[in-house]
Amino acid sequence: MKHILVFFVLLHLTFSSSVCKKEFEETVCENFNFSSDLLHSNDTNKLTIRNAQGSIIPENFAKLYQLTEMKITESTITSVKPGVLCSLPNLTSITISNNCQFPKITKDVFQGCQNIKRINLDGSNLQIENTAFIDALELQTLTLNDTIFPSRLAGLDSMKSLTIQHSNCTIIEKDAFTNLKNLKFLDLQYNKIQTIAVGSFEQLSQLKVLNLADNELDLTWDEFNGLKSLKVLFLERNNFRKVNVSKLVASVPNLERIFFSYNQLEPESRKQIEEILPKLNVTFIYGFSEINQ
């Protein structure tokens, strides 16, 4: 009877401490408190940390020499020591998502991230400092979902793709995208954007795709000045009812495809769209939706 009791206690301790297991090409570690001797596998390329808690310190990742992708999810993180997330020489992708608690994303969190190519931040009102990614000199793709959108993003000269969805953003300021001179894809769907300052997109001379669907826009049609390379524009499910086609085509001379919500447009605007855009080899695509209130 005593042997059975001892076996039960040992079994309980094993499952209540850190559990790391290989799932295909990924290592998953869950249900643990961070300490210096927990994460030590030197043959791991992809790591998911789930349901962990505590402060992240350099010793946590000191032996993960081969790690290229890391995800921290469903955890309670009290603090992150400066530079610890980017202390790994081969790390190129970081995802921080669905955590109960995570410190404000400042430049200290991504300090030394010269090799990072992809950052995905997804969390309930996760706060992000304007200069948070200033060290990410090679960053190509940034996704911000359900975060508190910073007024502008410093650095990011190398970035090609930016997605910001489900944020608190209602206004796009003129200097919001000043540094994103190489951006090709910008997705701002599912926000509450009402106003875009004229000139906001003037620095985005390389942008090919712009998604503004599912917002609350009432456009003047001067907002798209400077988008000389834009080819695809999504505008479904917004608040505008009129389209100034002349201003649109003047601002976006290389447009190839545009999306509207049919029943949100006044008949005169639909007439302009259907008469003018085909002559310019622009494909317009109508979707149907209820008019935003």
pLDDT digits (tens, 9 = 90+) for 276-285: 999 999 999 9
- The pair phi, psi for residue 190, each rounded to 5°, is 65, 40
Query: Are 251 and 204 contained in the same domain?
Result: yes
Query: Same structural domain for residues 264 and 177?
Result: yes
pTM strictly above 0.85: yes
Q: At which of 117, 137, 157 does a domain end?
A: 137
CATH number where 211 lies: 3.80.10.10
| pLDDT above 90 for 293 | no
What is residue 13's three-state secondary structure? helix
> Looking at 95, 115, 137, which one is the last position of a domain?
137
Residue 6 lies in a domain: no
- Residue 3 burial (10 A CB sphere; 0-12, 13-18, 19+): exposed
Local confidence band at 265 (pLDDT 50, 70, 90 cut-offs) = very high
Please, which pLDDT band fits residue 38 given cuts at 50, 70 and 90? Answer: low
- Distance, CA of 203 to CA of 253 (rounded, Å): 16
CB count within 10 Å of CB 16 equals 10
Task: Identify the CA nearest to 152 among candidates 125, 170, 179.
Answer: 179
Residue ranges making up the domain that contains 116: 19-137
| 125 vs 128, residue with greater confidence | 128
pLDDT digits (tens, 9 = 90+) for 61-100: 878 888 999 999 999 999 999 999 888 889 999 999 999 8
Strand runs (DSSP E) across the chain, as ranges? 19-23, 26-33, 46-56, 69-73, 76-80, 93-97, 118-127, 141-148, 161-165, 171-172, 185-187, 195-196, 209-211, 232-234, 257-261, 283-287
When the pLDDT of each residue in the chain is averaged and rounded to a whole number, the result is 88
Is 94 part of a structural domain of the chain?
Answer: yes
Of the ranges 31-45, 83-97, 127-141, 177-191, which one carries the lowest mean pLDDT score?
31-45
